[in-house]
Structure 1
Amino acid sequence: MSDLLTTTAERAAGGPSVPTFSVLSGQQVQQALTGRERELVALVEATYRLHGAGDSVNPPSYFLRFPDRPDSRIIALPASIGGSVHVDGLKWISSFPDNVRSGLPRASAVLILNDPETGYPFACLESSIISATRTAASAALAADWLSRGRPARPARIGFFGTGLIARYIHTFLAGTGWEFDEIGVHDVSADSAEGFRGYLRPSGAGGQVTVHDSAEGLIRSSDLVVFATVAGKPHVTDPAWFDHNPLVLHVSLRDLAPEVLLGAANFVDDVEHCLKADTSPHLVEQLTGDRDFLNGTLNDVLQGRAAPPTDRPVVFSPFGLGVLDLAVGKYVYDEVSRAGSLRLIDDFFHDLRRYG
């Protein structure tokens, strides 16, 4: 708590402490996170375990939608996490797909961290990088644990969707020891697919890189499939494409038709959060009227309460929890604070005297 407060003459006189407020730029966030993939995956695992143990508050996300811009949205993810992280906060993230046409990334975000003792916000962080990082760390964690019972670790990976999230997932897989003999790439935009292949070359990615013209070709030739698209409704409908029982990281949540999920073993990050907002798992629930198609959560696997089968496709559908953003954001804040690089906004809070 003391590192969040400014000592003033008022405090010396017995008055209240004055909270500080910092703004952390995207560059600072990037510097704090780069090259720490193993550490961040361990942090995300610890956060899942805290959440599973009930040491968190993670209300439903709130979707701000626009009648005149139906493809766009801004989402509020409030959360609170205990343990050694011990912070409250809110991620405010927008998704405007048309940005890509003008060369801007689809998503932008900020993260507000609040002091759990006073409720005062003490930092605002650029959060598109934090969001991508927690998503990629979660995917890498799931790929590790959900592949442990297989005869061999997947050696052929396919990326369906080739934007920022796909790049971060590849970075986190490579940074946590994954090696691939083949890397497949598919995107509805040929330019995006070629751009991702261009990223893979200097990244040091091993294995042959192939751009697939069809989704079916990509899926059938991959043992590990990563969906990282902006799809608003299912577009992969044929369960036969998954007859070779791949591990599927269904990160974008709305790619797979209910028929595909009903032929697979299904794991989510949080049942209540994932089965809403017309995600693919939510569509299955609406179709069947129950949740029997779910095999458990990732935390169930971490705790040994559930195990993925080897005779069916295994699909991980993570909704994305605000507690993960908080954990990674607090990690960044602590790293920048230790380096003495916090940018304090003087006099951000005004009129702190209760009676003026």
Structure 2
Amino acid sequence: METLLLSAEEVKSLITMEEAIDAVEEAFRLYALSKALMPPKVYLCFENGDLRAMPASIMGYAGVKWVNSHPENPGRGLPSVMAVLVLNDPSTGFPLAVMDATFLTSLRTGAAGGVAIKHLARKNSEIFGFVGCGKQARYQLLAAMEVCNVELVKAYDVNKRAEEKFREFCESLGVECKFKELEKVCDCDVLVTTTPSTKPIVKSKWVAEGTHINAIGADAPGKQEL
């Protein structure tokens, strides 16, 4: 037997956001039925970031993703998040595939947001607020567009260059994007936060009743956006 090696470009050619949303939705369903195993992440924490091991088993396969989170990496010319995934045969342990998982990480996180919007947000949601305009905001928007009619994006980021790049991305998708003060961004149908903040940045009084929130950035102990 040979282990399949997949590059980032090969992985990108094999799956779309629509397919990712369907896959994540099915994974959530199986996990709720106790038909999937997903033990807690294991962290290695450092001064400027962390590394995480994320094992899981589902539908006759097992695997582990090894992924980092280093928010200051863009200043070094590196992505904030990079990952590799090893897929195994659970009956023998044989490594079936080793693949780049940086794109998969972004895609899967975006798809999870899409599943949440599909089932939890108001069906007529059209105005989306984005707090944080980095890479993951783009995937959250792509997923939202698969399940909603996105008419307007209101965006805020402390990094104005990130805001401008996000506006250009929105326009490339035919979506209007306006920069607003943080409080005004929260006046929306769906609010998406994708920051590494360790202190609350969104106040409850800014969020209207019925607003759906995808708080993506608070993915580890010590992080808080709301």
TM-score band, normalised by shorter chain: over 0.9
**What percentage of aligned pairs have identical amino acids?**
27
Q: 2:87 aligns with which of 104, 113, 116?
A: 113
Q: 1:199 aligns with which of 144, 169, 183?
A: 169
Q: Deviations over 1:126-147 (max 9, x none)?
A: 0011111111111111101002
Mapped partners of 2:211, 2:23: distance in 1: 27
Q: 2:128 aligns with which of 157, 163, 166?
A: 157
**C-alpha displacement at 1:244, in angstroms?**
4.2
SS at match of 1:183: strand
Q: Contact 2:114/2:147 (CA < 8 Å) preserved in 1?
A: no
Mapped partners of 1:40, 1:181: distance in 2: 23
**C-alpha displacement at 1:71, in angstroms?**
2.9
**C-alpha displacement at 1:78, in angstroms?**
1.1
Q: Which amino acid aligns with 1:153?
A: N
Q: Which amino acid aligns with 1:188?
A: V
Mapped partners of 1:280, 1:160: distance in 2: 13
- Structure 1 segments of 4+ aligned residues over 6 angstroms from their partners: none
Aligned to 1:28: 10
Mapped partners of 1:47, 1:161: distance in 2: 27
Q: Which amino acid aligns with 1:43?
A: A
Q: Which has the larger radius of gyration?
A: 1
Q: Deviations over 1:40-65 (max 9, x none)?
A: 21211111111111112211101101
Q: Which amino acid aligns with 1:92?
A: W
Q: RMSD of the alignment, in Å?
A: 1.9
SS at match of 2:12: helix
In the alignment, does 2:58 pair up with 1:81? yes
Structure 1 residues 177, 46: closer, same or farther in 2, change over 3 A? Answer: closer
Q: Which amino acid aligns with 2:172?
A: P
SS at match of 1:162: coil
TM-score (norm: length of structure 1): 0.60
Unaligned runs of 5+ in 1: 1-18, 255-275, 282-314, 316-356
In the alignment, does 2:197 pair up with 1:215? no
Q: 1:95 aligns with which of 37, 44, 69?
A: 69
Mapped partners of 1:140, 1:177: distance in 2: 7
Aligned pairs for 1:43-58 (under 5 A) are 43-58=23-38
SS at match of 2:129: strand
**C-alpha displacement at 1:177, in angstroms?**
4.4
Q: Which amino acid aligns with 2:3?
A: F
In the alignment, does 2:177 pair up with 1:225? no
